[in-house]
Homo-oligomer: A and B are copies of this chain.
């Protein structure tokens, strides 16, 4: 007997739903405070509330949504303090990462990173802000992956996502381009095996990104869930 469709991923359809919502949150298509009704989401994805609920629980644990008892799920609203703490934590981790990367980066890794940089530039040039912001974040996760500590990589990935939510990343194309330039400088420093310089650049880079964040702003009211999620 065939099982060609080895049956769609089991618990991973839940992850697929979580991923869709997560992307919408991280890309600011769903603003902080937006209501995430279970039935509404269920209709959008064509599944029951059970599955939606499970996805929301996951996202709540990632601190991307806030579950309010008997009130419902809302996109999380990180405050200024949390934003500061997020970037502080990132600095701690990423300083070490870039230092190690400078010490051990292979030629292939650097070239792969440069390729990623190209993608960033392309997205910036094309004015695709969603893709641009995603790529700017993934740059950092990529370095973590290359360094090779899976645990640290997973943590950083979560931190980067939360950072994106915390900063109403309405980064101007100009500051995005600036970010990308700093990424390039980082690569150069690593190429020179300049660990100290790389660490300094990473510190400055994260400080710049943090400075550009404009917290708070629009309260997530009145919103078309379907439009925000349907990519």
Contact = CB atoms under 8 A, between A and B. Distances in A.
User: How many identical subunits does the complex contain?
Assistant: 2
A46 interface: no
A175 interface: no
Contacts of A53: 54
Contacts of A81: 150
A115 interface: no
Contacts of A93: 92-93
Interface in A1-36: 7, 9-12, 14
A115 B93 CA distance: 31
A89 B54 CA distance: 29
Nearest to A70: B10
A151 interface: yes
A86 interface: yes
Q: Shortest 5 CB-CB distances between A and B: which pairs?
A: A10-B69, A85-B151, A85-B149, A89-B152, A92-B96
Interface of A: 7, 9-12, 14, 50, 53-54, 57-58, 61-62, 67, 69-70, 81-82, 85-86, 88-89, 92-93, 96, 149-152, 155, 159, 162
15 contacts: A9-B69, A50-B50, A53-B54, A54-B54, A57-B57, A61-B62, A88-B149, A88-B151, A89-B149, A89-B151, A89-B152, A92-B92, A92-B96, A92-B152, A151-B162
